[in-house]
With several copies, the nearest count.
Chain A
Amino acid sequence: MFRKILIANRGEIALRVIKTCREMGIKTAAVYSDADIKALHVLEADEAFYLGKSDPGDSYLNIDRIIEAVKKSGAEALHPGYGFLAENSLFAKRCGEEGIVFIGPPSSVISSLGDKVKAREIMQKNGIPVVPGFFEKDIDFDRISREAEKIGYPLVIKAVAGGGGRGMRIVNSSDRLKDALKEASGEARSAFGHGGVFIEKFIISPRHIEFQILADSQGNVIHLMERECSIQRRFQKIIEETPSTAVTPLMREEMGRSAVAAARASGYVNAGTVEFILDGEGNYYFLEVNTRLQVEHPVTEMTTGLDIVKHQIEIASGNRLTLSQDDIKCRGHAIECRIYAEDPENNFAPCPGNITFLKEPSGPGVRLDTGIYSGFSIPYEYDPILSKLITYAERREHNIKRMIRALQDYVVLGVKTTIPFLIDLLKSQQFYRGETFTDFIEAGFHGWEPPYPHIDKALTAYIADEMSAKNRSSGKEFYKEKDISPWSTLGNWKI
């Protein structure tokens, strides 16, 4: 087993990895930028190495500096977390060249699965369902039209180069196809300098269902059941749960088999996630493989009783998987809520700033993976995730209420967070009934504003605070100019 691991990440995920390392008797080395001198992952690691300026390019995305830190630390292995360089095949390759064990799949696997067209080909070849579609370098309307009939309407035109919705059109019938193709191609050309488009079946009200897999270097592959991650804002997941209300035992078995097949087909090693789109009729289609530890891995840990990071490290050190598929028995229900420093009233605008007060939830069925503490200043250079709150209960209905209770017990002052939004969402009938589709927020919570059920109490608290001001300890209650808070400032802006 490794004696020391360097964690090439920050925030809650760095802390998450540090904890398991400490429990395995492995020393940890953190890395940090100027903005993170007092970050929790720096405080909690055995050692910490300075990378550079706060800009990610000078620090957490800077391969040379990270490699240098590994050398200095004497770590034998590197855990990339998620984000930053976690899915950078060149980085994984460089680690290998430098004699550092990269805790993740081989560089070649990251590379081929990172290429959407190549990944789709691998899956198709191995009998894993993909969204019916047709790829074409140049637009040959007749061929596309023939394929469109095979796929069936509605379908969606997407730009090969694209992203962010540009060069995209939904087509409901064949008579609109030609015009739509032209429009999309033109838009793609002006947006990306390349007019290539392709067509795909348009999945109505899809769910995002993914399977956690573990694969060792001896070729053993198992899956740890599904997670449903349909609740998203800006294509970013915000609530995840397992089991999914939409997956029957039969579907679970079939999709699990596909996930394992996908892992085998791509030569996968270590922990990974096979993502599927699920339609209303129970058909599922391969979406992509995430070649890293997933933000939402804790829900799987809660229902399987496993520590995925521990298995990652064991696999990376060359150990055989100690589990077989039959050992994996899920139990109960788990939800994860991501706590972002964002203003949900304002289209989820980021809210960096200073945490002035923090009260964390605890108790039965509650897990908190956090990267912050009271007094910490959330930098604006990085992802707005502050922490993840995970709850477990015997049944989903109880667990939803447990999560609401835990969110209400979670108080973060100084920056705006997604907490009030999450509470409202979890209280909704749609969520309770499991009607969770990827357009959930757009369809049901667009332009959300918090309910204000306790205005009378808030006013009373305001006045009671004035009346008991002398009981506050000095030095803390006064407004500090430097801690200017976005809560009280205004601007003219749009995202």
Chain B
Amino acid sequence: MEYKLKINGDIYTVESNKIDDKHLKISFNGIEHEARFERIDDNRIYLNIMGRGINAYIVRNRDSKSVVIDGVAYLIEDAEKTDKKRPKERISRDVPQTVTPPMPAVIVRIMVKEGDRVKKDQGVVVVSAMKLETTLTAPFNGTVIRVNAGEGDKVMPGQILVDIEKDNEGGANNE
């Protein structure tokens, strides 16, 4: 079976074969190896690759898994799923297109109102989480068409706090 997996922006095309209940073979980028695997519990898999033992701790998100090995977390996305589901958000990691908090937070200040013109990187909302204030900025030049939250509201990642209509002129948008 072929997987298209994305780690840190790089896509790996991995060819995998299940040999039996405890063994698999994978190959990618010219690397090929067999591994023995043992499921220890829901979140832990023990791998043995060429005699070397590795503990992988796994948490599953919607279209991705975080795999922790030796204390480092690898966020692995299923590139096929994410590509299909959110075609417009594909490049979102590099160029965010929405005003949404990066973590559950509470709104401290809203600095714009409907109809306001905003410039790219201009602060529009300040949220607070864990004693730290974070300013959310406009992703592009445009016009505020709606403010979806109020001061003191508890908000979650993914929740669009301010709708901004993007300017049409190509030039100003590129800055």
Contacts and interface: CB of A to CB of B under 8 A. Distances in A.
Q: Indicate if A touches B (C-beta under 8 A).
A: yes
B41 interface: yes
B149 interface: no
B26 interface: yes
A364 interface: no
Contacts of A360: none
A330 B96 CA distance: 53
Interface string A471-495: 1110011110000111111111111
B104 A380 contact: yes
B70 A465 contact: no
B39 A488 contact: no
A45 B52 CA distance: 9
A495 B132 CA distance: 8
Nearest to B3: A463
Interface residues of A, number: 75
Interface in B60-118: 60-76, 92-93, 96-106
B95 to A, nearest CB: 9
A471 B45 CA distance: 11
Given A413-B66, A452-B74, A463 B92 contact: no
Contacts of A374: 41
Given A45-B53, A452-B8, A350 B42 contact: no
Given A479-B60, A484-B157, A464 B35 contact: yes
B134 A465 contact: no
B47 interface: yes
A189 B56 CA distance: 54
A38 B40 contact: yes
B74 A455 contact: yes
A47 B53 contact: yes
A484 to B, nearest CB: 6
Contact of A384 (B16, B65, B131, B135): B131
A468 B58 CA distance: 12
Interface string A44-80: 1111100000000000000000000000000000000
Contact of A48 (B18, B53, B105): B53
Nearest to A407: B71
Interface string B127-148: 0011111111111000000000
A491 B96 contact: yes
A457 interface: yes
A491 B49 contact: no
A419 B71 contact: yes
B171 interface: no
Contacts of A351: 103
Given A459-B12, A459-B28, A492 B99 contact: yes
Point out which of A349, A462, A487 has the most chain B C-beta atoms below 10 A from its C-beta.
Answer: A462
Contact of B136 (A467, A477, A491): A491
B158 A489 contact: yes
Contacts of B172: none
A457 B70 CA distance: 11
A3 to B, nearest CB: 14
A410 interface: yes
Contact of B47 (A46, A350, A464): A464
B8 A479 contact: no
A419 B72 CA distance: 8
Contact of B24 (A410, A463, A478): A463
Nearest to A375: B41
Contacts of A489: 100, 102, 157-158
Contacts of B66: 413, 487
Nearest to A490: B92
A258 B86 CA distance: 63
B1 to A, nearest CB: 8
Interface of B: 3, 5, 7-8, 12, 14, 16, 18, 21, 24, 26, 28, 31, 33, 35, 37-49, 51-76, 92-93, 96-106, 129-139, 156-158
20 contacts: A47-B53, A351-B103, A374-B41, A375-B41, A423-B71, A452-B8, A452-B72, A455-B12, A456-B31, A458-B69, A458-B74, A459-B26, A462-B58, A464-B24, A464-B37, A465-B65, A467-B18, A468-B21, A492-B100, A492-B139
Interface of A: 37-38, 42-48, 341-342, 346, 349-353, 356-357, 359, 373-375, 380-384, 407-408, 410-411, 413-414, 416, 419-420, 423, 450-465, 467-468, 471-473, 476-479, 484-495
Given A455-B12, A459-B28, A487-B66, 13 more contacts: A47-B51, A350-B132, A353-B104, A450-B72, A454-B70, A457-B47, A459-B76, A460-B47, A471-B39, A488-B75, A491-B98, A492-B138, A494-B134
